[in-house]
Homo-oligomer: A and B are copies of this chain.
Amino acid sequence: MTTQIQTVAVVGTGVIGNGWIARFLAHGYDVVATDPAEGAEERMRKAVDHAWPYVEELGLAEGASKDRLTFEKDLSKAVADADFIQENVPEIEELKQTVLQSIDQHAKPDAVIGSSTSGIMPSELQANLQHPERFVVAHPFHPVYILPLVEVVPGKATTKEHVEKAQGFFEGLNMKALLVRHEIEGHIADRLIEAIWRESLHIVNEGIATTEEVDQAFIYGAGQRYAQYGPFLTFHLAGGEGGMRHMLKQFGPALKKPWTKLEAPELTDELYDKVVSGCEQQAGDLSMSELDQNRNEFLVRLLDLVKEYWPEDQKKEKV
């Protein structure tokens, strides 16, 4: 399987699909996108225009151009010549399986197929494909054109060579292609995000704090650290010279304390309204695009800063 990836197809052009498109274009690929929704092409081109200044600041590959993006209503035509196909349709298992079967049917047999699913396991999604060996979950993070992580999750039928081709492709997009070696609902990252999310909903649901207070309690302390070190190395460092060994002695007992809730709250209308109005209040006079621009300008600079300090790169430098 020596095919070089030259053309990429994107199936489903929502927030995630459009983020992928900007990233693929910025790295010099020809991109064919498809989506059955009314007005999808216009929204897609707007989204790519919006992302473009940020991908330019991060650095364009030679020959990278927005002109290399085409929209093709017919899925079968859109995927026909692609070497890599990324599926980003809504998170409904039946829908994803139907779309993936049609991609599998019309794509070149050795084209790699990735799915952006947040939580569905690859073995379930590849179950009914003619060529399941070339299917992987490739789960990115919003905004996809800035954030480096993609979780690459092979299913039972996925072959090693296709996993490696996918990983190599994503690394070529300047991404951190994390191989998730065991299938699990939510993969890895979304399990942690979901845990934060459920606990945050409990706190708001019980009237302990507003959404803004919960966000402040996170970003001004823990959040500052998590751009660089994860939950484990953070505690390892908090333990002083004793590291994690000391931390587990000191905070191990907290595992038995009611420091977090363990069921998800009912998403009642009341909770729904608390959360929605809380966020709208937080946004204040800022429009969604002002908030979005503010986040992006920050992330581009943060990314440039944090790169110098990632622990594994420090290790490499030391070796």
Nearest 8 pairs between A and B by C-beta? A215-B230, A223-B226, A141-B221, A149-B221, A186-B259, A149-B220, A262-B262, A298-B309
Stretch at the interface among A74-82, A99-107, A156-164, A245-253: A245-253
Known contacts A191-B261, A302-B305; 16 additional CB pairs below 8 A are A118-B251, A118-B254, A141-B222, A178-B216, A188-B213, A196-B231, A215-B233, A218-B226, A218-B231, A223-B226, A224-B299, A227-B227, A237-B291, A241-B288, A252-B272, A294-B311
Query: Which residues of chain B are within 8 angstroms of A142 by Cβ–Cβ distance?
Result: 237-238
A309 to B292, CA, bound (A): 11
Most buried by B among A141, A192, A251, A262: A192
A185 to B204, CA, bound (A): 15
- What is the copy number of this chain in the assembly? 2
Most buried by B among A151, A182, A200, A238: A200
Stretch at the interface among A64-72, A108-116, A127-135, A277-285: A277-285
Question: Which listed residue, B119, B248, B318, touches A276 by the CB 8 Å rule?
Answer: B248
**What secondary structure prevails in chain A residues at the interface with B?**
helix
Most buried by B among A220, A301, A308: A220
Query: Provided the pairs A198-B260, A248-B275, A255-B267 are in contact, do residues A148 and B220 lie with their beta carbons within 8 angstroms?
Result: yes
**Does A258 sit within 8 A of B, measured CB to CB?**
yes
